[in-house]
Amino acid sequence: MSVSMSRRTLLSAAAGSVAAVAVGTEAGAAPATRTRVTPALRELEAKIRAGMARYAIPGVAVGVWHRGAEYVRGFGVTNVDDPVPVDGDTVFRVASTTKTFTGTAAMRLVERGRLDLDRTVRSYLPDFHTADRAASARVTVRELLNHSAGWLGDFFLDTGSGADALARYVEAMSVLPQLTPPGTVFAYNNAALSLAGRLIEVITGASYEEAVRTLVLDPLRLRHSAFFLDDIPGASVAVPHGVDADGKPFAAPEAFAMPRAIHPAGGLISSARDQLRWARFHLGNGRTPDGRRLLTRRSMHEMQSHPGPGGTLFVELDGFGVTWMLRPTAQGPKVVQHGGDWAGQHSGFLMVPERDFALTVLTNSEGGPLLTAELFADDWALRRFAGVRNLPAVTRPVPGAALAGYEGRYSGSQIGFEGETATVELDLVADAGGLSVRVGGQEALRLAFYRRDYVRVLDPGGTDTHFRANFVRGAGGEVAWLRYGGRLYHRGAATLRSAGTSLPLQRSTLPYPGLG
């Protein structure tokens, strides 16, 4: 076990219970990289400052591409114990946005004829299987990358820091249960992306990290992006922070560590400036800064189209293309999005290609998800910069007889660093025309319906969290699953027997075992 117990317990305050606290921002605000700060950017700056104070976030870095101009800026400090101003080159762990780098590396191999998205994983890894050998034999590479493989996705086994970490992880995937048939249901799947990373290793003959560096990072000159801090000498690091019982941030540098086997799903370390360059590459024509083509237009289009099964991941989505979340808008232009969460490192990333707009925000606190929800799940930024809005979601009370079809106990599982199984158990109870979500007898959330099977997620006081969720029906038409945070919670018996560990209800793309 390479992650210490102190790391698993240091950040004990859940993001959903962060209290308001003043955190110095202006004194540490780095100058913007842009010729002119527009009124929209000033409003964005004000929202960031307010969110830092409200949610106990010591440091934020932001990058915006809008109307042909670039804006990069840092706010606050990297570490409350050793304050250094955050700037555009400060590095954070971007967590699940890493998946888009894995997908882009895979597309480079597709162009070279060494990988086929529609061939099965077993074509490349003949010995691969999960607990359901027949189902896992049918899973294609595309289904790994669009989160429809169907097996339990939150598998965080730490297989060490050696070169064989991914190989050992993939072998250990033999215990994972199949939740839904391959290719039929969207369920966010971290294990599938680590498996895709192993495919990249096998095809290239290099480690995953070296392959991504050679295929993607170096050609795009992403000098402040890597999987190991030693590969970014002299970097200013945004230290993770928890939030204590008094609502104040405290530094927890141990939390920056991550098992190597999870790198393809969430291990990249990067800066706001590099993330904005990443956005401009995917908004553009697939060329490197020196004009060399890295991906064809066809491959760029492939990544951002032909979505797999849809549903919700914080917002409504049409589905995933090749690792990009494709999000509809009321006006028509699609949003291409990701984001990521790790202990004390929470970020958002989105683009609207038809409006030539991109936004990335990186934070170093467990309060970060509350700010990223305001900027990436709510549609303020989309409206202000790109002129598009979320699909409408006007809630209405539902009669009790109809709510009965949704009531019951729902269970979700994940497998932790040491192979231990932990569960989240939710009781959904009809209340006031909606559903009360109760954990251990205490109300944690409320669900308000805006159309059949789709709900807005509210806090117990009725305040909008900016998130949406939905129910998934079985073959007979009955409600079988709640999809919350992209995960499937089974109605009825748990899909895995728990080792006795209970988890809090988390809203994140890469849940981190032991925090809650």
Which letter does DSSP use for residue 155 in this model? B
Q: Are 362 and 63 in contact (CB under 8 A)?
A: no
Residue 249: phi and psi, rounded to 5, are -75, 145
Residue whose structure tokens are 């729902």: 410
Question: How many angstroms separate the CA atoms of 217 and 311, rounded?
Answer: 31
Residues with Cβ within 8 Å of residue 373, at least 6 apart in sequence: 314, 465, 466, 467, 507
Q: Give the dihedral sign, CA 268/271/274/278.
A: positive
Joined together, the tokens standing for residue 256 give 């920056």
The torsion region of residue 344 among left (phi > 0), alpha (psi -120 to 50) and beta comes to left
Q: CA 181, 513, 435, 388: dihedral to nearest 10 degrees?
A: -80
Residue 274, SS3? helix
Of 159, 133, 30, nearest to 86 (Cα)?
Answer: 30
Residues with catalytic annotation? 96
Residue 274: phi and psi, rounded to 5, are -65, -40
In 241-350, alpha helices (H): 263-266, 272-283, 297-303
